[in-house]
A and B are shown apart, each in its own frame.
Chain A
Amino acid sequence: MRFNIYRYNPDVDAKPRMQFYDVAMEPTDRMLLDALMRIKMEDDTFAFRRSCREGVCGSDAMNINGKNGLACITKLADVREPVEIRPLPGLPVIRDLIVDMSQFFKQYHSIKPYVVNDTPPPEKERLQSPEDREELNGLYECILCACCSTSCPSFWWNPDKFVGPAGLLQAYRFIADTRDQAVNERLDNLEDPYRLFRCHSIMNCVDVCPKNLNPTRAIGKIKDLLLKRTV
Chain B
Amino acid sequence: MAIATRQFDAVVVGAGGSGLRAALQLAESNLKVAVLTKVFPTRSHTVAAQGGVSASLGNEEPDNWHWHMYDTVKGSDYLGDQDAIEFMCRKACDAVVELEHYGMPFDRLDNGKIYQRPFGGHTSNYGERAIKRACAAADRTGHAMLHTLYQRNVRARTQFFVEWMALDLIRNQQGDVLGVIALEMETGEVMILQAKATLLATGGAGRIYSASTNAFINTGDGLGMAARAGIPLEDMEFWQFHPTGVAGAGVLITEGVRGEGGFLLNKNGERFMERYAPTVKDLASRDVVSRAMATEIKEGRGAGKDGEYILLKLDHLGADVIDKRLPGIREIAKKFANVDPATDPIPVVPTCHYQMGGVPTNVQGQAIMPDGKGGEKIVKGLYAAGECACVSVHGANRLGTNSLLDLLVFGKSAGEQVVKDIAGDVVSMPDLPADAADKTMARLARLDSASSGERVSEVGAEMRRTMQAHCGVFRFPDSMAEGVKKMLEVAERAKNTYIQDKSKVFNTARVEALELDNLIEVALSTMISANARQESRGAHDRSDFPDRDDVKWMKHTLWYKEGNRLDYKPVQLKPLTVESFEPKARVY
Contacts and interface: CB of A to CB of B under 8 A. Distances in A.
A49 B332 CA distance: 21
A133 B137 CA distance: 10
Nearest to A8: B505
B105 A140 contact: yes
Contacts of B420: none
A95 interface: yes
A30 B246 CA distance: 13
B505 A94 contact: yes
Interface string B500-513: 11011111110010
Interface in B106-124: 106-114
A101 interface: yes
Interface of A is mostly: loop
Contacts of A174: 103
Contacts, number: 150
Interface stretch (A51-59, A151-159, A185-193, A219-227): A51-59
A113 interface: yes
Given A47-B508, A59-B39, A143 B143 contact: yes
Contacts of A179: 103
B48 interface: yes
Contacts of B151: 113-115
Interface in A128-164: 128-130, 132-133, 136, 140-141, 143-144
Given A30-B336, A47-B508, A94-B506, A113 B140 contact: no
B100 A125 contact: yes
A117 B101 CA distance: 9
Contacts of B112: 127-129
Contacts of B126: none
Contacts of B506: 47, 94-96, 98
B453 interface: no
Contacts of A98: 506
B535 to A, nearest CB: 35
Interface in A203-222: none
Interface in A48-80: 48-59, 73, 75
Contact of A52 (B48, B109, B155): B48
Nearest to B461: A41
B154 interface: yes
A133 B457 contact: no
A105 to B, nearest CB: 8
B103 A114 contact: yes
B108 A48 contact: no
A57 B43 contact: yes
Interface string A12-41: 100000000000000010100000000011
Given A52-B45, A56-B143, A57-B39, A136 B505 contact: no
A66 B252 CA distance: 30
Nearest to A98: B506
A78 to B, nearest CB: 11
Given A54-B48, A56-B143, A140-B144, A44 B501 contact: yes
B42 interface: yes
Contacts of B107: 130, 133
B147 interface: yes
Interface string B233-259: 000000000000000110110000000
Interface residues of A, number: 58
Contacts of B42: 57-58, 143-144
A109 interface: yes
Interface string A99-116: 001000100010011110
Contacts of B391: none
Interface string B66-108: 0000000000000000000000000000001110111101111
A229 interface: no
Contacts of B45: 51-52, 57
B189 to A, nearest CB: 13
B216 interface: yes
A41 B455 CA distance: 8
Given A114-B151, A143-B42, A52 B103 contact: no
A44 B509 contact: yes
B280 interface: no
B519 interface: no
Contacts of B456: 44
Contacts of B111: 127
Nearest to A141: B140
A11 B48 contact: no
B501 A45 contact: yes
Contacts of B507: 47
A109 B162 CA distance: 15
A133 B135 CA distance: 14
A58 B41 CA distance: 11
Contact of A45 (B101, B105, B137, B509): B509
A150 B108 CA distance: 34
A11 B505 contact: yes
A56 B108 contact: no
Contacts of A121: 98, 101
Given A57-B43, A57-B48, A10 B105 contact: no
Interface of A: 9-12, 28, 30, 40-41, 43-45, 47-59, 73, 75, 94-96, 98, 101, 105, 109, 112-115, 117, 121, 123-130, 132-133, 136, 140-141, 143-144, 174, 177, 179-180
Given A56-B140, A58-B42, A140-B147, 17 more contacts: A44-B456, A44-B500, A44-B508, A44-B512, A49-B39, A51-B216, A52-B45, A57-B45, A57-B215, A112-B155, A123-B97, A125-B100, A127-B111, A130-B107, A130-B110, A133-B107, A177-B103
7 contacts: A52-B216, A57-B48, A115-B151, A126-B100, A130-B107, A130-B109, A144-B40
Nearest first, the 5 closest Cβ-Cβ pairs linking A and B are A127-B112, A115-B103, A44-B509, A11-B503, A114-B151
